[in-house]
Structure 1
Amino acid sequence: MIKRHFNALCIGLATAVVLSTPVFAQKKTVPAKKPVQSAAKIAGTIIPNDPNVKIGKLANGLTYYIRKNQEPTQRAELYLATRIGSLMENDDQQGLAHFTEHMAFNGTKDFPKNEIINYLQKAGVRFGADLNAYTGFDQTVYQLPIPTDSAAVFKTGFKILANWAGKIVMEGEEIDKERGVIVEEDRQRGKNAQERMSKQLLPVLLKGSHYANRLPIGKLDILHSFTHDKIRNFYKDWYRPNLQAVIAVGDFDVNEVEQLIKDNFSGLSNPANPRPRPSYDLPDNKEPLVKIVTDPEQQYNVAQIMYKQRGGVLKTTADYKKSMLYNMINSMLGARIQEIMQKDNAPFIQAQSGYGAYQGGLVPGINAFQSVAVSTSGATLEKAFTAVLAENERMSKYGFVQSELEVARKNILAGNEKRLKEKDKTSSSSFVQKYLNNFLTGTSIPSTEYAYELTKKTLSEITLAEVNALAKTLITKENQIIVVQAPEKEKASLPTEAQLLAALKNAANNVAAYVDNTVNKPLLEQKPVAGKIVKEEKMDQIGVTGWVLSNGIKVLLKPTDFKNDQIIFSSYAKGGTSLATDANFRSAEAAGLIAESGVGDFNPTQLNKLLAGNTGRAGAYVSDLYQGYSGSASPKDLETAFQMIYAYATNPRKDAELFNKNISDYKVVLANKSANPESVFGDTVQAVMASYHKRAMPTNLSDLDKISLDEAFNFYKARFADNSGQHFVFVGNFTLESIKPLIETYIASLPAQNKAENFVDLGIYPPKGKVSKTVYKGLEDKAEVQLYIHGDYEFNAQTNIQLDAVKAALENKILERLREKESGVYSPQVGLSVSKYPKAHYYFTISFSCAAANVEKLIAAALDEVKQIKDKGATADDISKFKSEEQRQVELSLRDNNFWLNYLSGRLKNDDDLGQILTLKKRLDSVTVESSKATAQQYLNEDNYIRLVLMPQK
């Protein structure tokens, strides 16, 4: 599929603009004697905290937040937040805040070695996916989602948090083993153009601040050589209750949890002479700071400007109103830039502007108005930069127009209504983030009802004059920073510092007021002639009803109460690009761009304006084997989504300007793709895994020249001319009675020719036998390894769960061996992919990054673990962990709309029993040590083994 794909708009420190939106999603049950205070009476006042969260403090200073919430049921989110990070490190401790976070999983007083991970996995908590932690400049946060239906496990969760808070043992042997893991984390995330350019840009972005000298990953020489006392002293100094908070949200008794917190944390104490917690600022700069950096592996030409501003904490209704004004400005300015990007003569291939946290929140209390532009070449970067600056100046000079403001207002109102309707279905994790922000920064945490009333009142008061007045303050004369990132080969053609400053100075020249291009007409000129439901089938065991329509389309419907304001759907029919000829294959691949071009008389910008405030959305897709539709809506807007399905089927938009712009932009992506080692390696992997089949090779520049708009449009129309083979699945808050007339009107009326089409098996399969390929690309000591063991097999649920069990056990063993024992990798991955069509095939994958010198040793270690499982099977512990994790995930999935949409669609595509989920426990019970051994011996067969390695260039 031809897609716009730009992945280098930032330097790795969130230099891309962050458009932040204040979202309040608190659940509140209001006692009859305490009605919600009217927002109309509290303008300019402190926003009260939601009374449904219990906030307290122990005698030792530890803060706690407790809230009962039943989404998901029988689950809780437990967090330990500490207001310390890399800023608290001494010069000889750089990197040890992050290192301490790692050590929390390597042994505590009550949980020796890796017992925390081992215990939780047996309880169904997944390491990495569920159990995790992170470290920043001024915070370290541990997260522990845990079941509450087991009293013992739930209580142990608080014991684990308390062990992290004050009982990490820091054994010397474990410290030394973890050094290699930390070094490999640095290698996995860095050793690339992004990191090299970041090191040059940070002294500018953080000039004059302590932040520039305290990156959380630290310094490698210190990580290799620090003495054990350095990290033990850091833990002793800073892990103390008066800098910590426990956050507990979930399906539990609040009073019981409060007592558990008191029992587990009251015994922790602060140092006799605690070190004062320092705070740091980012100095102002009166003159513009400019930095131009290039790198041989950089793919795009990017220019960015930042106007730094002091930011405050959102505590009052006045703060809330200002944040909403910024949100509206971001939305309207973003829409203008998107509109420009759809033009064939657009001056940039990607751009964005907006006000938000500086560098994505790099320095607390500092915000910025930030703009970024990506150009086709170094020679055109000045033009692209000037163009995005001109849009900022157009906003500042002329402001926005009323019609733009109304679009923004409608969209915010729609989101506000949705949050209120979903107040009792809000996930516990959403609440946790609000309380975490409150502890770390003091941000208010209002109830859903309060935020709803405040939003309505504030929106009714906001005027265009207010918005435009605030927009004028975004472009400041001081605190300007300009950075350029570009490929090394473009260095000579890049704009100079003087040219960039001149562009900044002259951007306002010749700008005119914005003219809105809204199309004022309905999505459909008239309703289609309705069809009928001709057959119905009930599947009561899974709560599903099946309908066959008069045009041959089949529909599955699962009404649910998992969300109050959500309906989601998707469909598929067989065919896709597999039906294209070799001659027009590339044009057929580009058929997806037709669906992205809008519909009928509406281009994407106009369509978004038409649907402002309306949650109904739908689109179409064409993949290799299928074509179909997907979308979502609130119940009240469902008809709009149905109308869009009909429009995409019968009235696609042929937009030459937008189509050509997409192709032109993609040429830029391909032109610089070979600079990036991972892109080159990815292309090699794609080619090898497809046995170099001409229809599966990576797209190149000459391929783009073969693409025809007419051919792409005609292929799209042909794919949707016959909808008789479509299978729709609808899941969400609807009744059969309410959705029936919509399905008969808009789905049963879709054009159908009853061709009974199928996809074509093009013979695109991985090579048989043993294959080895090494790519030499990259400037630094960083290798990537991908190992595949694959084969044909009989696709069925019983075999698949046995394969899943082997994969889970192998994942545990690879992690233990390569990370814990060898200390040679950070996060190795073991994957399993199975497919039934066009031919049943399975793939086991083992992948990791490491130092080039360790490639052979680590591959040998990985294959040794494969052999161990084949010889002995999975251990009883591994089987127990697999069953617990699977069961826990299914418990969550059964009350999730997205799970059911994917599950039902998947069973339909594979011609499987729709009731398969009901027999999962029986299949899980069949997994044993012996069955895992038999499965491993049969399917981990290295007769079909592919070894792909990326090494630094020689």
Structure 2
Amino acid sequence: MRILKPLALAFLLPALGANARSLATESTGLNPQALQILAQDTTSWTQPLPFDDGVITGKLENGFQYYIRKNVEPENRVTMFLAVKVGSILENEKELGLAHFLEHMNFNGLKHFPKNELVDYLQRAGVRFGSDLNAYTSFDETVYQLPIPSDDPELLKNGLQVMRDWAQDALLDEEEINKERGVVLEEMRGSRGAQQRMRDQYFPLMLNGSRYAERLPIGTEDVVTNFKPETIREFHQKWYRPDLQSIIVVGDIDPKMIEQEIKRLFGDMKQPKSPQDREKYTVDLLNKNQFMVVTDPEMQYTVGQIFIKHPEEQVKTVGDYRRSLLKSTYNEMINSRLSELMQSADAPFLQAGIGISEFLGGLDNLSAYYVAKPGAIGDGFKSIVRELDRVDQFGFTESEFARTIVSMQKNNERAYTERDKRRSDSYVDAYLNHFLKDNPALSDEDSYRITKELLPTLTLSEVEAIGKQYYVDQNRDVLYLAPDKEKANLPDEAAVNAWFQEVNQETLTAYDDKVSDLPLLAAEPAKGTVVDRKNIDVIEAKSWKLSNGATVVLKPTKFKNDEILIHAFGPGGTSLYADADYFDASNAASLVNSSGLGQMTTVELQKYLSDKKANISPFIGERTQGVTGSADKEGLKTAFEMIYGYFTAPRIEDDVFKSTISRAVSSMENRENNPSFVFSETIQKSLYGNNVRRVPANAADIQSISKDKALSIFQERFADASDFTFMIVGSFTEEEITPYIEQYLASLPTTNRDNAAKDLQIVEPEKGFEKIVNKGKEEKAQVRLSFYGDYAFNEKENLNMDALESVLSIKLIERLREDESGVYGTGASASYRKQPSGRYGFHIGFGTSVDRYESLIQSALDEIRKVKENGPTQVDLDKFFIEQRRQHEVNLRENSFWLNSLNEVISNEEDFKSIINLQEDIQNVTVESVKAVANKYLDETKLFKFILLPDAK
């Protein structure tokens, strides 16, 4: 279960809403005269937005609502959500945290699934706890999710019964309540750290002293520890009622049958005799500016933030939707400018963003943030304000505006093209927000049509007016979050106001939109040829050998209407370079990727690609180098041009190089403050000494990188395509793809040299040990138990290792979380490799209290002992089988699965049939075979215990 934290500090702008993604001017189907008439005739803009006509909706007599939609992607699957308009905002002082606690209890005893039978039953149906079966609690709502197979009538029926039990039939048994207290306290403990400590200080300011600041969903330790069972039962009775609830069912189902079942199951839900009003709380505007500085010894960066709050603008009508498009256009254009600024040689910040978005409690806001470079707090702030002022004074250019509108049009067209392949999960948010917030829920057709009609009516002056409306000097908060050691360098409110004034009095110049009219490549390459074609019948794919020696593996699919994925690799990588050249080699690809390509600079390339679905990036790993990316059919030529460009015309620009090095070094300034970094670094150094290829780079390492050396290494690694393998998966035909392969892949340079990667023989120590790290203020422990050693890589061994991971994860959750109430989350994870030599890692991790970590380690090791002595239970093994089979059914219809599987099989020289033979191969996994693998690899002499504890007192 996750707690939703709408205001959690992420340093990232909120994503634009799905309905603000849009499409192409040239494809509007409207002539200029018609567009002019539409732009002038605004009467239709007052019309309410139409509701999705592909959804069956209804409200039962008791007030319970439902949304049902048939959608066949993925086949034989259905996603169910239960939304409850109940969150922490409704709690009184004795109930702080009980909305969230109640969410937990809905997994610990229901009318038809007492105790932990719910999780057990669903695992036996192939549903994964945490990744599939989940829930969240926020200020204003609690939402439960259950994706399940829909081809089993009994399972479908029981899934609906789960939703009904969640709605009103939690047992709330006292013993289970008391056991769950420890789990919630551990969840609370795990979230403690610099972010939480600072949030507790700045939330009252950000939320204007409203009730929201006092109602964090996690609650308080005192209430969670001491509330009486009757209190949560009363909360449940008071708020879990039909008029505040809705079910959303989207998937491969019979909607009419589902509707009848909903009426049967939910129609008898009762309202309280005297239902309490569900009050709507707000964050009031104070009509003043606020300022605050918050520091913490474990904070890694200095972050400056500006929040300018405004009354919420709800999207109800076509005109409202049009305004949302204007805001999206503003966000896109101003952030493109910041991105360009960040690539300058002396970038004034490490990261930055600006955006107009929904806030909380009936407010919207314009927010701006930047992550300061050490010693440049004022420079970063003024650079953000300068860009806001520049737009306020000069606006945007016509070319910026036109480019952004075309990009939005293209996005709209792409979304519409894929409408019949749209996954069920992607529909749910719209219906959730329609129920919870009365937001619009447009059909695919209406979203496409309205966006297509409205985008050409947007004007540059309107976008600029949006900026002027939101960028004002009222209801503005300025907040600084920083490490304790930066206290002396942080501004006070007077200094910040002086910075605003200083920028305001500067003589700014208008933005110069630099674009290139040159083609990406200086000349078209001479075509090569396909010299050999072979069928890979077992997976319905083809393997071609090109005239330059390169191999192409093609897997055409119909899983998406217009998605093509590309991945290529050749042997070598950084393993071919000495330690002295390692940082040049390991950073070469990212430096090239951040620079321009062919005849275009970085900025020109970004603008050139803005309206294209073509994204190709080079990489250099330890044993391979290559390119990876995606395109649609329209962008496919550009994608292949980029591939050819990276092989033949890469560059590292001076400004990009200087900016990247400077920002990388600056980002390391305070990382020793972060307990997680210190823990991770200690683990790596304990396992690999000071090997530069395994431990985190330091500032001197990054400063040692030579631009010329990095580019030379990149060119060297991509000078010989003769042993590269290109894998292409997606919606293409041989006829469509062949010209691009001949023109851009068969023409790649070759030297026919030996590129075989070296075995660096970097392995973990033979014998395990214990390492305790003391770092951090909070009284909490983090434990990682790891086993390392040689591994016999083959399909049978791999499946048994996966099964061991699964069954141990089940046992660890049952023992450490459910039985001992000692952790919030735990689990096992296995990793294994074939090249350069067979090796494995097997890990168990959890967080807990300082006084319990030792006993919980023993409990975890006891569960390992049981599997080694007795093997897993058949019940747990059956859970693994069904989960694997169900997941594989879905995976086989995903382009990304096929690309990853082809890469793995080809890299490891395995049989292609292993991709599809799971159902057959898994039959070889037994209780005894898993037991044997556990004994083979979970040898206590190879156990490494890593423990993070607070600073020594």
Please tell me whether residue 222 in structure 1 is matched to residue 223 in structure 2. yes
Higher deviation after alignment, 451-460 or 688-697: 688-697
CA distance in 2: counterparts of 1:604 and 1:141, whole angstroms:
43
Please tell me whether residue 550 in structure 1 is matched to residue 516 in structure 2. no
Higher deviation after alignment, 10-19 or 575-584: 10-19
Query: SS at 1:55's partner residue?
Result: strand
Could you tell me which residue of structure 2 aligns to residue 410 of structure 1?
Answer: 406
Query: SS at 1:853's partner residue?
Result: coil
CA RMSD of aligned residues (A): 1.6
* C-alpha distance after superposition, 1:889-919 (max 9, x if no partner): 0000000000000001110011100111232
Could you tell me which residue of structure 1 aligns to residue 564 of structure 2?
Answer: 567
Could you tell me which residue of structure 1 aligns to residue 83 of structure 2?
Answer: 81
Query: SS at 1:275's partner residue?
Result: coil
Q: Which letter does structure 1 place at the counterpart of 2:617?
A: G
CA distance in 1: counterparts of 2:418 and 2:754, whole angstroms:
42
Quote how far apart the aligned CAs of 1:383 are.
1.8
Quote how far apart the aligned CAs of 1:443 are.
1.1
Could you tell me which residue of structure 1 aligns to residue 258 of structure 2?
Answer: 257
Quote how far apart the aligned CAs of 1:83 are.
0.6
Which of 869, 872, 881 aligns to 1:871? It is 869
Could you tell me which residue of structure 1 aligns to residue 836 of structure 2?
Answer: 838
CA distance in 2: counterparts of 1:591 and 1:694, whole angstroms:
16
Could you tell me which residue of structure 1 aligns to residue 664 of structure 2?
Answer: 666
Equivalent residues of 1:571, 1:726 under 8 A apart: yes
Equivalences for residues 731-742 of structure 1 within 5 A = 731-742=729-740
Could you tell me which residue of structure 2 aligns to residue 351 of structure 1?
Answer: 352
Could you tell me which residue of structure 2 aligns to residue 4 of structure 1?
Answer: none
Quote how far apart the aligned CAs of 1:598 are.
2.3
The count of aligned residue pairs is 929
Equivalent residues of 2:281, 2:361 under 8 A apart: no
* C-alpha distance after superposition, 1:617-672 (max 9, x if no partner): 21211111110011111112211100010111111122111111111111112221
Higher deviation after alignment, 686-695 or 223-232: 686-695
Quote how far apart the aligned CAs of 1:13 are.
4.4
Equivalent residues of 2:283, 2:361 under 8 A apart: no
Give every structure 1 segment of 4 or more consecutive aligned residues whose post-TM-superposition deviation is greater than 4 Å: 13-16, 38-41
Equivalences for residues 584-733 of structure 1 within 5 A = 584-592=581-589, 593-733=591-731
Could you tell me which residue of structure 2 aligns to residue 96 of structure 1?
Answer: 98
Query: SS at 2:580's partner residue?
Result: coil
CA distance in 2: counterparts of 1:845 and 1:155, whole angstroms:
37
Please tell me whether residue 952 in structure 1 is matched to residue 953 in structure 2. no
Please tell me whether residue 519 in structure 1 is matched to residue 520 in structure 2. no
* C-alpha distance after superposition, 1:223-251 (max 9, x if no partner): 01111111111100000000000000000
Could you tell me which residue of structure 2 aligns to residue 247 of structure 1?
Answer: 248
Cα distance, 1:272–1:24 mapped onto 2, change above 3 Å = farther
* C-alpha distance after superposition, 1:281-315 (max 9, x if no partner): 11112221100011111111111101001122212
Quote how far apart the aligned CAs of 1:780 are.
1.1
Equivalent residues of 2:91, 2:98 under 8 A apart: yes
Please tell me whether residue 272 in structure 1 is matched to residue 268 in structure 2. no
Equivalent residues of 2:566, 2:728 under 8 A apart: yes
Could you tell me which residue of structure 1 aligns to residue 122 of structure 2?
Answer: 120
Equivalent residues of 1:181, 1:825 under 8 A apart: yes
Equivalences for residues 320-469 of structure 1 within 5 A = 320-358=321-359, 363-377=360-374, 379-469=375-465
Equivalent residues of 1:25, 1:447 under 8 A apart: no
Please tell me whether residue 18 in structure 1 is matched to residue 17 in structure 2. no
Could you tell me which residue of structure 2 aligns to residue 925 of structure 1?
Answer: 923
Which of 569, 576, 579 aligns to 1:579? It is 576
Equivalent residues of 2:778, 2:950 under 8 A apart: yes
Which of 461, 467, 479 aligns to 1:483? It is 479
Equivalent residues of 2:796, 2:925 under 8 A apart: no
Equivalent residues of 2:21, 2:412 under 8 A apart: no
Please tell me whether residue 139 in structure 1 is matched to residue 132 in structure 2. no
Cα distance, 1:802–1:113 mapped onto 2, change above 3 Å = same
Q: Which runs of 5+ in 2 are unaligned?
A: 23-37
Query: SS at 1:537's partner residue?
Result: strand
Cα distance, 1:16–1:504 mapped onto 2, change above 3 Å = farther
Which of 63, 71, 74 aligns to 2:73? It is 71
Quote how far apart the aligned CAs of 1:15 are.
6.2
Equivalent residues of 2:20, 2:328 under 8 A apart: no
Equivalences for residues 843-862 of structure 1 within 5 A = 843-862=841-860
Higher deviation after alignment, 922-931 or 776-785: 922-931
* C-alpha distance after superposition, 1:146-176 (max 9, x if no partner): 1011000011100000000010010000000
Quote how far apart the aligned CAs of 1:577 are.
0.8
Q: Which letter does structure 1 place at the counterpart of 2:796?
A: Q
CA distance in 1: counterparts of 2:342 and 2:868, whole angstroms:
54
Quote how far apart the aligned CAs of 1:267 are.
1.2
Quote how far apart the aligned CAs of 1:471 are.
1.6
Q: Which runs of 5+ in 1 are unaligned?
A: 1-8, 27-37
Equivalent residues of 2:305, 2:480 under 8 A apart: yes
CA distance in 1: counterparts of 2:349 and 2:594, whole angstroms:
19
Could you tell me which residue of structure 1 aligns to residue 28 of structure 2?
Answer: none
* C-alpha distance after superposition, 1:69-102 (max 9, x if no partner): 0000000000100011001111100000000000
Equivalent residues of 2:86, 2:239 under 8 A apart: yes
CA distance in 1: counterparts of 2:616 and 2:489, whole angstroms:
43
Could you tell me which residue of structure 2 aligns to residue 6 of structure 1?
Answer: none
Please tell me whether residue 206 in structure 1 is matched to residue 203 in structure 2. no
Query: SS at 1:636's partner residue?
Result: coil
CA distance in 1: counterparts of 2:908 and 2:268, whole angstroms:
57
CA distance in 2: counterparts of 1:508 and 1:514, whole angstroms:
16
CA distance in 2: counterparts of 1:757 and 1:263, whole angstroms:
67
Q: Which letter does structure 1 place at the counterpart of 2:297?
A: P
User: What is the percentage of aligned positions where both structures have the same residue?
Assistant: 41
CA distance in 1: counterparts of 2:898 and 2:656, whole angstroms:
35
CA distance in 2: counterparts of 1:148 and 1:784, whole angstroms:
39
Could you tell me which residue of structure 2 aligns to residue 33 of structure 1?
Answer: none
Which of 107, 110, 122 aligns to 2:109? It is 107
Cα distance, 1:232–1:13 mapped onto 2, change above 3 Å = farther
Could you tell me which residue of structure 2 aligns to residue 883 of structure 1?
Answer: 881
CA distance in 2: counterparts of 1:606 and 1:354, whole angstroms:
23
Equivalent residues of 1:353, 1:370 under 8 A apart: yes
Quote how far apart the aligned CAs of 1:571 are.
0.8
Q: Which letter does structure 2 place at the counterpart of 1:610?
A: Y
Could you tell me which residue of structure 1 aligns to residue 30 of structure 2?
Answer: none
Quote how far apart the aligned CAs of 1:185 are.
0.6
Could you tell me which residue of structure 2 aligns to residue 194 of structure 1?
Answer: 195
Equivalent residues of 2:594, 2:656 under 8 A apart: no
Equivalent residues of 2:522, 2:599 under 8 A apart: no
Quote how far apart the aligned CAs of 1:929 are.
1.6
Could you tell me which residue of structure 1 aligns to residue 165 of structure 2?
Answer: 163
Equivalences for residues 736-755 of structure 1 within 5 A = 736-755=734-753
Quote how far apart the aligned CAs of 1:191 are.
1.9
CA distance in 1: counterparts of 2:467 and 2:542, whole angstroms:
52
CA distance in 1: counterparts of 2:82 and 2:292, whole angstroms:
39
Q: Which letter does structure 2 place at the counterpart of 1:607?
A: L
Higher deviation after alignment, 689-698 or 404-413: 689-698
Which of 911, 914, 930 aligns to 1:913? It is 911
CA distance in 2: counterparts of 1:897 and 1:745, whole angstroms:
24
Equivalent residues of 1:297, 1:676 under 8 A apart: yes
Query: SS at 1:17's partner residue?
Result: coil
Higher deviation after alignment, 592-601 or 283-292: 592-601
Equivalences for residues 895-910 of structure 1 within 5 A = 895-910=893-908
Could you tell me which residue of structure 1 aligns to residue 533 of structure 2?
Answer: 536
CA distance in 2: counterparts of 1:912 and 1:219, whole angstroms:
54
Equivalent residues of 1:390, 1:507 under 8 A apart: yes
Equivalences for residues 34-49 of structure 1 within 5 A = 42-49=44-51
Query: SS at 1:388's partner residue?
Result: helix
Quote how far apart the aligned CAs of 1:368 are.
0.6
Equivalent residues of 2:407, 2:611 under 8 A apart: yes
CA distance in 1: counterparts of 2:676 and 2:882, whole angstroms:
36
Q: Which letter does structure 2 place at the counterpart of 1:840?
A: G
